[in-house]
Structure 1
Amino acid sequence: MKKRLVSIVLVLGMVTGLAAGCGSTKEENSAEEDGVTTVTWMTSRPVDGAIDQVMRQIADDYSEEQGGKWKINIETTADRPSYLQKLRTLIAGDNMPDIIDIDADPYCQELVDQGMLVDVKKFLEDNGKYDDYYPTALKYQEFTDGSMYTLPLEYHVEMTWYNKEIFDQYNLTPPKTMDEWLQVCRTLSENGITPISVDGVDRWPVQRYLAMLPFRETGNEFIINLRDGKEKMSSETGKKAAEFVQEMGQYFNEGFGATDYATAQSMFLDGKSAMYYIGDWEIAAMQDAYEQGKIDYFYLPMTDDATTKENEFCVNSGIGMAFNAETFDEKTKDFVLYVIDNYGKLYAGKQQMSPIKTDLPDDVEFSDLYLRIRDDMENTGENFLKPWDTYLDSDTNTVMQDNLLLLASGDMSVDDFCTMIDDSIAQNAK
């Protein structure tokens, strides 16, 4: 997913109180008091971001249409690890909120296996809404068996942005192959230019590099088999992926393991690095430099043995909304349908890529960059690189992400890294 989540506690719509915390009781979820239905949503979305703003507006509009007889409490928890810890605590205490944010990951599968989540695919199909979404946006939310229990609120492609002025200075062109990409990095490094700035603090940007070669070679088959214990990180494919990270790592900015999201991005925009991997959610940040002709982007380069196509790369629809099966009553269903009917155009109006098919609003002027990327998304292939952190169990994912920093910095060997991942999979995979 990508997923940068910066958040504080907020209240949505008409509500001024906070949603239930760790001491909440089930009666507070989807509660009805004095004829007013209150729904709780525990989320980890950026405060005052596009999703927050649109959902705030929709909740206000829906509450007004219901004559004030419906309201929603939303609690946004600081960062993703803290959010997940709190969510697990609430659920373990039998205090699951009505709506939660969650990836289609192993923990989500546990909740599904316990019958705690609504079958979102069935809900969409039963209400004639499934085809309202872009197929890839929904496919991203699916488990490997095709079932789906999370609803997307966003839609993204990821790419590598590059500094055109630096590339022109050294007669470089956007790489079409992984080998060309490495050669570009070597040329820049030999001339004293930092080739790539990376947010190592959040780990996932480094993990993307590990996934690149296996995706080109196998689609998502390698990571699925690795998760299930049917494949080894120490296999030929796994070792090639680790070697690629180690080779690319020498071209990351100095001290990348302690470089945060904002710093990595500002390094690139300030011309202190030549490339930066991130998704279209940063269109606003890239807009000025793009309009000035200073930067451009390219998608995941190819390999000689690729089974995926040039128009297939990392596409995601982010963290999904999941619904408490016990409290998913008619009023909650009606609200979700109202969201689906109104969300797409409002979200696109915030210069965001909507997972719901929609015409662009006439009263918004969209940039050439937005329209170009939207066109890219309309023409992506069937396969997409799904982030590895949505496949792996949490323990293995932590082991992988933490040790990737050592691997990329040259402080851990490829063999040791692969062995560590294989050992974790053997211990934690079901």
Structure 2
Amino acid sequence: MKKKVLGILLVFTMLAGLLTGCGKEPANTGGSGTSASGEEKASGDRTLHINWLSARNADEAVIKAIKDVAASYKEENPDLDFSFETENISDRSSYLQKLKILAASDELPEWYDSDPDTWFADLVKAGKAYSIEDLYNELGVSDKIFTISKEYARLSSGELNLMTFQCNTEYFFYNKKMFQDAGITSAPGTYEEFLKDCQILKDKGYTPLSMGGDWPILRYFAMVPFRLTGNDYIMNSTAGKASFTEAAGIEGAEFMQNLSPYFQTGWSSADYDTMVDLFASGQTAMLYNGTWVLADLSDENGNLKEDFGYFTMPVYSDDDATASTDYFANSGIGTAVRSDSMDEEMKSFIHYLIDHYAKASLSYNNLPSVMPDDETMSKLSDSYQQIIKDVSGVKTYAKCWDVVINSASVEPLEKETTSLVLGHTTPQEWAKNMDEIVASENK
């Protein structure tokens, strides 16, 4: 009888072991339940697996540069079981949909991209994103990061939970030959001059402005309210503390309708690449864009091609709340690190990344969030050195409307703005519709 009982117990023990093995989560799922530090403690080996869900294109300079640094790190650490994988979903709506599904099911990867919006703030409150402020201070690298690359990524509460990998400013790039042919001898310093120059170019047979994609139209809209109120108009309106119908918004909407005749035919259905190609190929006179576009506009030495020049955001009136040296400067979408994946191996890699990222990024004509060292700086083209000076001189930077507003309201904002510029709605109707959209999201 005892032998029979022992035999039954042995069978159950074996079955339990098999069932446990079948149900065990794979080591590299990216879910919150399994961390690299847990594996390291269990095996005694050095282990680091990073899965990065990114909203960037796979061929973007940021992705290429970080992969290069990761490859070097792997080569220099042969005793480390290290993998660095990216999943790139450049369509923002599709990206956000997947990110929110993963967050809801507690399966966020080690790294994931986000803007510092209200949805991400909730993730931070839930403990799903490590404090990058604490990380930078612990590693002693905070002073190496451009100020804008930290400030841009902060939540409205002031917390910093996102790494950034760019340091951008935005300009109006223009075709010098077209300006000269039209008799325009200097870049516009005010928006009144800007609109006059657009009309002069159009009368001469040129298409003044290249437009396409989702966010560029919002940049134009933000310019007048920013000059009049700083960021107060957009911050208060999107928070439901004020109305989009305030004077700065209506003036901005009227400016957009005045600007609409100067975009290329079919602009509302053009994508970002088309917008850039039209200007780069000499089909439009001006392009508003960020310094990430320099790779498309520069020569083999890294300087702007001879035909191109640039000017900064014009002033609007004598009553502007911002200085002429204040305009859009940003650091692109941020990257969070899942809290429970932040072990010593992760910290070591990020420290290495910060030490080597500037040089790797600049090799792809991308201005990094990390300040280049003196040797790297001295080798930069005149254009890049000037841009770094420009970025350093911005005191108050214009906030991107599609980042400030709740992520669920970004697409409605883009649609309402396109409708306004096409003349389908009035400035007052646009403002009323936006108030309703924000109110519905803030319920």
Same fold (TM over 0.5): yes
Aligned pairs for 1:142-153 within 5 A: 142-153=154-165
C-alpha contact (below 8 Å) 1:101/1:319 kept by paired residues: yes
Return the alpha-carbon distance in structure 2 between the equivalents of residues 264 and 351 of structure 1. 20
Task: Give the corresponding residue for 1:127.
Answer: 139
1:321 Cα deviation from its structure 2 partner:
1.5
Over 3 Å counting, the alpha-carbon distance change for 1:20 and 1:397 in structure 2 is: farther
Return the alpha-carbon distance in structure 2 between the equivalents of residues 292 and 340 of structure 1. 31
User: In the TM superposition, what whole-angstrom CA distance separates every residue of 1:109-152 from its partner, at most 9, and x where no partner exists?
Assistant: 11112121111112212332211111121111112222111011
Task: Give the corresponding residue for 1:375.
Answer: 389
Structure 2: runs of 5+ lacking an equivalent: 1-26
Task: Give the corresponding residue for 2:106.
Answer: 94
Larger radius of gyration: 2
Return the alpha-carbon distance in structure 2 between the equivalents of residues 234 and 376 of structure 1. 33
Return the alpha-carbon distance in structure 2 between the equivalents of residues 227 and 372 of structure 1. 34
Task: Give the corresponding residue for 2:129.
Answer: 117
User: SS state of the match for residue 215, structure 1?
Assistant: helix
Task: Give the corresponding residue for 1:302.
Answer: 315
User: Which residue identity is paired with 2:143?
Assistant: D
Return the alpha-carbon distance in structure 1 between the equivalents of residues 228 and 210 of structure 2. 26
Task: Give the corresponding residue for 1:356.
Answer: 370
Return the alpha-carbon distance in structure 2 between the equivalents of residues 140 and 292 of structure 1. 30
1:190 Cα deviation from its structure 2 partner:
2.8
C-alpha contact (below 8 Å) 1:141/1:152 kept by paired residues: yes
Return the alpha-carbon distance in structure 2 between the equivalents of residues 151 and 416 of structure 1. 38
Task: Give the corresponding residue for 1:85.
Answer: 97
1:20 Cα deviation from its structure 2 partner:
6.9
Over 3 Å counting, the alpha-carbon distance change for 1:68 and 1:81 in structure 2 is: farther
Q: Cα RMSD (Å) of the superposition? A: 2.4
Determine which of 229, 239, 242 is the counterpart of 1:228. Answer: 239
1:164 Cα deviation from its structure 2 partner:
1.1
User: SS state of the match for residue 326, structure 1?
Assistant: helix
Percent identity between matched residues is 29
1:175 Cα deviation from its structure 2 partner:
0.6
C-alpha contact (below 8 Å) 1:59/1:71 kept by paired residues: no
1:195 Cα deviation from its structure 2 partner:
1.1
User: SS state of the match for residue 427, structure 1?
Assistant: helix
Return the alpha-carbon distance in structure 2 between the equivalents of residues 340 and 132 of structure 1. 8
Task: Give the corresponding residue for 2:440.
Answer: 427
User: SS state of the match for residue 341, structure 2?
Assistant: coil
Which shows bigger deviation, 73-82 or 295-304?
A: 73-82
1:32 matched to 2:44? The reply is no
User: SS state of the match for residue 339, structure 2?
Assistant: coil
1:421 Cα deviation from its structure 2 partner:
0.2
Return the alpha-carbon distance in structure 2 between the equivalents of residues 148 and 116 of structure 1. 13
Across the two proteins, how many residue pairs are aligned to each other? 408
Return the alpha-carbon distance in structure 1 between the equivalents of residues 277 and 364 of structure 2. 23
Task: Give the corresponding residue for 2:10.
Answer: none
Return the alpha-carbon distance in structure 2 between the equivalents of residues 99 and 343 of structure 1. 17
Task: Give the corresponding residue for 1:8.
Answer: none
Task: Give the corresponding residue for 1:208.
Answer: 219
Structure 1: runs of 5+ lacking an equivalent: 1-18
Task: Give the corresponding residue for 2:19.
Answer: none
1:246 matched to 2:253? The reply is no
Return the alpha-carbon distance in structure 2 between the equivalents of residues 132 and 52 of structure 1. 20
1:157 matched to 2:164? The reply is no
Aligned pairs for 1:15-26 within 5 A: 25-26=31-32
C-alpha contact (below 8 Å) 1:54/1:347 kept by paired residues: yes
User: In the TM superposition, what whole-angstrom CA distance separates every residue of 1:83-109 from its partner, at most 9, and x where no partner exists?
Assistant: 221111111111111111111112211
1:65 matched to 2:113? The reply is no
Return the alpha-carbon distance in structure 1 between the equivalents of residues 156 and 31 of structure 2. 34
Structure-2-length-normalised TM-score = 0.86
C-alpha contact (below 8 Å) 2:56/2:89 kept by paired residues: no
1:259 matched to 2:266? The reply is no
Aligned pairs for 1:407-422 within 5 A: 407-422=420-435
Task: Give the corresponding residue for 1:138.
Answer: 150
Task: Give the corresponding residue for 1:336.
Answer: 350
Return the alpha-carbon distance in structure 2 between the equivalents of residues 61 and 269 of structure 1. 34
Return the alpha-carbon distance in structure 2 between the equivalents of residues 120 and 156 of structure 1. 20
User: Which residue identity is paired with 2:210?
Assistant: S
Structure-1-length-normalised TM-score = 0.88
1:402 Cα deviation from its structure 2 partner:
1.1
User: SS state of the match for residue 96, structure 1?
Assistant: coil
1:319 matched to 2:333? The reply is yes
Which shows bigger deviation, 172-181 or 127-136?
A: 127-136
Over 3 Å counting, the alpha-carbon distance change for 1:306 and 1:364 in structure 2 is: closer
Return the alpha-carbon distance in structure 2 between the equivalents of residues 37 and 428 of structure 1. 39
Task: Give the corresponding residue for 2:17.
Answer: none
1:224 Cα deviation from its structure 2 partner:
0.9
C-alpha contact (below 8 Å) 2:28/2:49 kept by paired residues: no
User: In the TM superposition, what whole-angstrom CA distance separates every residue of 1:171-230 from its partner, at most 9, and x where no partner exists?
Assistant: 21311001111111122223332110101xx21000001110111111111111112111
Over 3 Å counting, the alpha-carbon distance change for 1:144 and 1:249 in structure 2 is: same
1:329 Cα deviation from its structure 2 partner:
1.7
Task: Give the corresponding residue for 1:5.
Answer: none
Over 3 Å counting, the alpha-carbon distance change for 1:357 and 1:123 in structure 2 is: same
Over 3 Å counting, the alpha-carbon distance change for 1:303 and 1:85 in structure 2 is: same
User: Which residue identity is paired with 1:94?
Assistant: D
